[in-house]
Amino acid sequence: MTGSPNLLTTIFAFLLVLGPLVLIHELGHYLVGRLFGVKADAFSIGFGKEIAGWTDKRGTRWKVSALPLGGYVQFAGDMNAASAPSAAEDGLTPQERAQTFHVKPLWQRALIVLAGPLTNLLFAVAIIAAFNFAHGKIVSPAEVAMFTQDSQAEAAGVEVGDKIVAVDGEKVATISDLPEHIVPFPGRTVTLGIRRDGRDIALPVKLADRTVSDSFGNQSRIGDLGIDFAVPTVGGFFGDSAAEAGGLKIGDRITAIDDHEIRSFTQIPELVQPRAGETISVVVDRDGQTRVFPVTLGKGEAVDEKGNKVSVGQLGIKAGFGEIEPVGALEAVQLGFENSFGIMKMMVTGIGQIFTGERSVKELGGPIKIAKYSGEQFSLGWEDFISFAALISINLAFINLLPIPGLDGGHLAFYAAETVRRKPLSVRSQEWAIRTGVALVLALMVFVTVNDVASLPIFGG
């Protein structure tokens, strides 16, 4: 288990994630608004009392505010930061009135509102596309390497060497296509399309309901086939990596440690953790050639069953996913969109499961949990941290598109109603809807914050 970052690192990482993402979101609104000639009265990172700021030559007050949990652009004609329309436009000159948000055509207002979440989405797509372009795409099929204990798939008739080519009729081309059909659905029965010895068969498998922990002890409830696909390929390094210092490279396939054959990445921790500080022989396949590297294991820290801190051996490697194929710029962008929409799809699935009772509301997280994860990902290195920032950016885009008054999706819902009615909702009805929506959002924030606090280790979470 990796040691948790300290409080200062956690706060710094949280602000480093949230600040730029809020800035990007609000810049989307601001720039499209400016394109259409709308004046911005205020551009704020954070809510509440202003800490620092300045006013530009266009009359926009740029500021940083005390509560760093979001931000806003207040356009001319807005009554407040939630963009409720103001009824008090008396006294404005025709030129001033032409610069207000609410006099603009419906399509322009819709684009200004949509620009915020769309910018967050495009930012995430750019990050994912850059990683795809730099590292390539996974092309390894979902081939069964081995089974875990009490495997549901093995009990259903799946065999080592089988390739999973579909789940419930949805095509599975590579191992990376599989999680979205399995992980969100603990306890559900799925039909696997299996290719075995050149023929296709269908096998129903009831997914196990498992709770798993990451290297920081964070727990997640997932659906599990009981199949080990973790190809023992070096996908990256972290910390003061003993493996990297010993000569291993990304893409090496580990075939043995000392005299133990390695078929799955999950076998590696069992062999190295009891041997902190010792030197082991790591046998790898590199470009078709077998090479042997002596590696002196690093020392990490974990907590045993009795709650005592113990020293564990670490190679300092991340799991790879088998064969990687380079991609061009256009394909990288395409994959960026596909990956981003796949993440959004899983978010929709998760929210639906909470409403139907398949998942507990305790699985919802808020700012404290985001801060905790920010610090943890920051401690793993810049690549993990930037990947996490992309995930949070997709979350911000998704949440802001929900049709809740006060959020961007709520305003888009108003415009949809305006399109149908051929006239806008009254200022009073919009104001009350926004107040109700903001109250709901604040209540949800309080609820998830209590959830976050309750999940902290000091409270037994």
Question: DSSP alpha helices (H): ranges in 283-366?
Answer: 329-356
Dihedral sign for Cα atoms in the order 410, 412, 418, 420: negative
Residue with tokens 């820290």: 301
Is the distance from CB of 325 to CB of 136 less than 8 angstroms? Answer: yes
Three-class secondary structure of residue 145 per DSSP: coil
Question: Cα separation of 360 and 355, whole Å?
Answer: 9
Question: Cα separation of 186 and 363, whole Å?
Answer: 14
Question: Cα separation of 244 and 180, whole Å?
Answer: 31
Question: Cα separation of 226 and 229, whole Å?
Answer: 10
DSSP 216-238: T--EEEEEE-SEE----BEEEE-
Residue with tokens 């990451």: 214
Contacts of 259 (CB under 8 A, 6+ apart): none
Residue with tokens 């006099």: 103
Is 26 among the residues known to form the active site? yes
Written as six digits, the tokens of 161 are 């060497």
Question: Cα separation of 155 and 151, whole Å?
Answer: 6
b vs e for 302-338, b when ≥16 Cβ sit within 10 Å of the residue's Cβ? beeeeeeeeebbbbbbbbbbbbbeebeeebbbebbee
> How far is C-alpha 414 from the chain's CA centre?
29
Dihedral sign for Cα atoms in the order 207, 209, 214, 220: positive
Question: Cα separation of 449 and 452, whole Å?
Answer: 5
Question: Cα separation of 143 and 178, whole Å?
Answer: 11
First to last CA, the chain: 16
Contacts of 419 (CB under 8 A, 6+ apart): 106
* Given the residues 26, 154, 244, 376, the one annotated as active site: 26
228: amino acid identity, one letter: D
**Among all residues, which ones are annotated catalytic?**
26
